[in-house]
Amino acid sequence: MAARGLLLVSILVLSCFAETAFGAENIISFASLKKTLVVSASHKQGLLKAGEDKITVTWGLNQSFPAGTDSAYKTIKVKLCYAPISQVDRAWRKTKDNLAKDKTCQFKIVAKPYSSANQTFEWVIERDVPSATYFVRAYAFDANDHEVGYGQNTNAGKTTNLFEIQAITGRHVSLDIASVCFSAFSVVSLMGFFYAEKRKARKSQQ
Amino acid sequence: MEISSTITETQPQKFALPVDSEHKATEFRLFSAAAPHMRTFHLSWVSFFSCFVSTFAAPPLLPIIRDNLNLTATDIGNAGIASVSGAVFARIAMGTACDLFGPRLASSSLILLTAPAVYFTSIASSPVSFLLVRFFTGFSLASFVSTQFWMSSMFSAPVVGTANGVAAGWGNLGGGATQLIMPLVFAVIRDIGAVKYTAWRIAFFIPALFQTLAAFAILIFGQDLPDGNYQRLQKSGDKQKDQFSRVFYHGISNYRGWILALTYGYCFGVELTIDNIIAEYFYDRFNLKLHTAGIIAASFGLANLFSRPAGGMISDMMAKRFGMRGRLWALWTVQTLGGVFCIILGKVGSLGVSIAVMLIFSVFVQAACGLTFGVVPFVSRRSLGVISGMTGGGGNVGAVLTQLIFFKGSKYSKETGITLMGVMIICCTLPILLIYFPQWGGMFCGPSSEKVATEEDYYLSEWSSKEKEKGLHEASLKFADNSRSERGRRVHSAAMSSSEATPTNV
């Protein structure tokens, strides 16, 4: 039984090595992208509320780049991205250079076909956006749906033009009342059972 | 002292199953619901199952909850630790409560009093409130002790291992089932029209209601002993009461109880830890959908359907041939292999292999739990409740420790944590080498050859001469006799000659 176990273990270990050897793909790295788009986001002052407030995003090609930079651009996807402060101690929002594994930008604001003129979009912040600090980034995709350029409304260190969004709580008064009522019912019914048992015991003694 | 079946009692009772002199069932019929034995079994495992569902209802929904409540990895880790730490002392207290009030009242009270914590999870609004609700919900895991106690009260020695193993295993299933149920319930509610952050809150009413109803079922349909409930039996003098301080002392002064508490922490404790972290692990590492991560995580807990009972059965099989030494060797081997597969699980990087390794790992870890409770009943007879409570509590301590060391905050990635946990399993299983019974031996030593050590010497050492004069040790004497089979096959002929309690049909 030990020998069979050892064989099974070695087969598993070998197979996982084999998987990693054949697993190398075309990795698109963020560092390889050029910041060819100019993106700006305008919103009201102070804390933005999910489900209520709007962000107006404007994007376009940075004209200081040589002509033809945007020849491959087919679509633009504008995304809401976490600022570094909201990524601390939260590995599920980690920034990775491999764009396939990068979790910085998890919310899509809009996707539009690329046009050389500047474009604008007004976005009502969706209700499932969590409370955090954000910035806006736009990715340019080619015909194969690979990232070929980007732009963001903040600087390289992601410290400027950040804005805070406050999420909905998801709580409702009816839920609160239901919770309290059912809890009280549980405790009271326990007392009720005890009382009924005592009465039965007293009755059987008579 | 045998109780003869020819003495007719004032009220001859008819049981659906064959019973022994204590009216404990000598057969375990899974597909029967006959009162009181099998009905108790079903009430017991279903209510324990509901406690597991509630305690681990949050982990599969964490990807939603962590954004709603703005939790950090540290907050999540702390809540996970809190969820299993409450039961550490609650399990030890539960053993006492069962002794004093009976398993029916003890377990139903615990389950009904922890149900509010599950209802209040729906209105949690911050990391602190989240931690508090998980902490109080976790107390319900103490119903493990009442389950085992109740099975030991209803089922006789030849089947008590199986009854205990199946009840515990099927209860632990809840930890797996909840990883399937909660994402499903969440999806249904969300599709009806609720927004994400409201849907998960409504979803928590399902485990809460299930828990409440399970407790009601126990109160309405359950009874403590084959003959009735504690209150009535104590009044009529049919049940003796032992002294709590003596029982407690003999439990905690037995070193084997402490070793088993430690090693159970590294099979059951590891199982609880995995229940807490595995859904998030698959969701984050392999970029799966919530629903898919839940299914994979569920398969870990669902293996309990057969693996924990199998552990108990393997223990019994080894004991038949090799006695207690066989039980100890089987326990050490299976648990160490569990550690090996845990190390591998953290190292594999592809989804398919990861799932396969996780399944193998789950079988070994859960079988080790079943094997542990093949040894526990023999550590002490007088203080069985305390030893069971210590071992059970030790399981939760192991869960607290592993989550504290490896899965709190961002110090280790989850995969590194899993591998290191595997190493710790192997190290903390080594103390089994130190367990030694004078009458049966240990892993490396045979039974004591200096003086002829007997089962009676071992079990009667728990009673003082004054107590023996009063005849309080009679039950231990009977047990010592029955436990002679732990010598293994070579003394089977000797075991045959000693009288065993003959099963009687009343």
- Tell me: do B218 and B350 sit in the same domain: no
| pLDDT value of residue B13 | 62
DSSP class per residue in B20-44: -TTS-BS---TT---TTHHHHHHHH
Query: Does B72 lie at the interface with A, CB-CB under 8 angstroms?
Result: yes
Q: How far is residue B375's CA from residue B354's CA, in Å, rounded to a whole number?
A: 32
Check CB contact under 8 Å for A91 and B413: yes
d(CA B146, CA B224): 10
> What is the rounded distance in angstroms from the CA atom of residue B324 to the CA atom of residue B441?
8
Query: Which pLDDT score is estimated for A108?
Result: 94
B268 and B401 within one domain: yes
Q: Which of A23, A170, A185 is facing B68, going by the closest CB pair?
A: A170
B424 and B328 within one domain: yes
Strands A163-166 and B436-437: unpaired
Query: What pLDDT does B206 receive?
Result: 96
Domain of residue B207 covers 34-228
Tokens of B306: 């057969």
**ipTM of the complex in this document:** 0.81
CATH number where B483 lies: 1.20.1250.20
What is the structure's pLDDT at B481? 77
Q: What is the pLDDT of residue B505?
A: 40
pLDDT class of A20 with cuts at 50, 70, 90: very low
Q: Is the dihedral of CA A95, A100, A103, A105 positive or negative?
A: positive
Domain boundaries, chain A: 26-166
SS3 label, residue B289: coil
> Are residues B415 and B269 part of one domain?
yes
What local confidence, expressed as pLDDT, does residue B9 receive?
A: 41
B95 in a structural domain = yes
Q: Is residue B506 part of a domain?
A: no
Tokens at B104, concatenated = 């029916």
Q: Which of B108, B120, B344 sits opposite A183 (nearest CB)?
A: B120
In this structure, are B257 and B216 located in the same domain?
no
Chain A CB contacts of B350 under 8 Å are: 16, 19-20, 23
User: Which amino acid is residue B29, in one-letter code?
Assistant: R
Write down the pLDDT at residue B504: 39
pLDDT by position in tens, chain B (length 506)? 344 444 434 445 678 888 876 677 877 788 887 878 899 999 999 999 999 999 999 999 999 999 999 999 999 999 999 999 988 889 888 877 887 788 899 999 999 999 999 999 999 999 999 999 999 999 999 999 899 888 877 887 667 777 888 999 999 999 889 988 999 999 999 999 889 999 999 999 999 999 999 999 999 999 888 877 876 666 665 555 677 788 888 888 999 999 999 999 999 999 999 988 898 899 888 889 888 888 888 899 889 899 998 988 888 888 888 888 998 999 999 999 999 999 999 999 899 999 999 999 999 999 999 899 888 888 888 788 788 888 999 999 999 999 999 988 788 888 999 999 999 999 999 999 999 998 888 889 888 776 677 888 888 888 888 888 877 777 777 777 777 777 877 654 444 444 443 343 43
Of the pLDDT bands very low, low, confident and very high (cuts 50, 70, 90), residue A62 is confident
pLDDT band at A2 (very low <50, low <70, confident <90, very high): low
Domain membership of residue B130 (yes or no) is: yes
Report the number of distinct structural domains present in chain B.
2
Is A178 in contact with B357 (Cβ distance < 8 A)? no
- A8, A82, A86, A90, best to mutate vs chain B, most B CBs in 10 Å: A90
Assign A107 a pLDDT band (cuts: 50, 70, 90): very high
Is residue A183 predicted with pLDDT exceeding 60? yes
**pLDDT tens digit sequence for A78-104:** 999 999 999 999 989 999 999 988 999
Shared domain check, B400 and B330 = yes
The SS3 of residue B239 is coil
Instruction: Name, in order, each residue with C-beta under 8 angstroms of A198's C-beta and a sequence gap of 6 or more.
Output: none
pTM of the model: 0.82
Which B residues, 188 through 217, put their C-beta within 8 Å of a C-beta on chain A? 195-198, 200-202, 205, 208-209, 212, 215-216
Identify the domain boundary among B228, B257, B278.
B228
In a shared domain, residues B159 and B278? no
A88: enclosing H helix or E strand: none
Residues from chain B contacting residue A12 (CB–CB below 8 Å)? 344, 348, 353, 356-357
Q: Is B102 helix (H, G, I), strand (E, B) or coil?
A: coil
**In terms of domains, do B91 and B134 share one?**
yes
- CATH 3.50.50.60 assigned to domain A26-166? The reply is no
Do residue B72 and residue B207 come from a single domain? yes
Q: Is residue B294 part of a domain?
A: yes
B336 in a structural domain: yes
**Whether residue B49 sits in one domain with residue B102:** yes
The reported pLDDT for the residue numbered B1 is 38
* Residues in chain B closer than 8 A to A191 (CB atoms): none
Contact: A178, B122; criterion CB under 8 Å: yes
d(CA A169, CA B70) in angstroms, rounded, equals: 10
Q: Rounded distance, CA B367 to CA B379, Å?
A: 19
Q: Enumerate helices (H) and strands (E) in chain B, giving the number of each.
A: 22, 2
HSE (side-chain half, CA atoms, 13 Å) at B232: 14
Q: Does B284 lie at the interface with A, CB-CB under 8 angstroms?
A: yes
**Packing angle, helices B268-285 and B290-302, rounded to 10:** 160
Whether B259 and B217 share a structural domain: no
- Inter-chain Cβ pairs, chain A and chain B, closer than 8 A: 123
Kindly indicate the confidence band of residue A11, based on its pLDDT and cuts at 50, 70 and 90: low
Q: Determine, yes or no, domain membership for B193.
A: yes
